[in-house]
Amino acid sequence: MLTRLKISHKIALSIFTGSLPIGVMLVLILGGINDRIGFTQKERNGRTYQRPHVSTSARINVR
């Protein structure tokens, strides 16, 4: 089958098959980065919520 293709089609096919795994890997890496950014934002929100409670409990010596 590949012997019947034109050279331009063979080159395009090889470029596509070479770039497909790179594209998939890029999508997975960017998804992981976005997940970590979301988790960090949730941690910051939790810390902002927790800070007054910690200072109050420190004043009344709750452990």
Domain count, the chain: 1
Mean pLDDT of the residues in the chain? 90
**Alpha helices (runs of H) in 1-63, residue ranges in sequence order:** 7-59
How much is the average pLDDT of 25-43?
95
Written as six digits, the tokens of 7 are 């050279």
**Per-residue pLDDT at 61 exceeds 80:** no
13 Rama class: left (phi>0) / alpha (psi -120 to 50) / beta: alpha
Q: Would you state the pLDDT for residue 62? A: 59
Q: Which candidate, 57, 55, 35, 37, places its Cα nearest to that of 45?
A: 37
Check if the beta carbon of residue 2 is closer than 8 Å to that of residue 10: yes
Domain assignment of residue 7, given as a range: 2-59
d(Cα 41, Cα 55) in Å, to the nearest integer? Answer: 22
Written as six digits, the tokens of 34 are 């976005």
Q: Is the pTM of this model over 0.75?
A: no
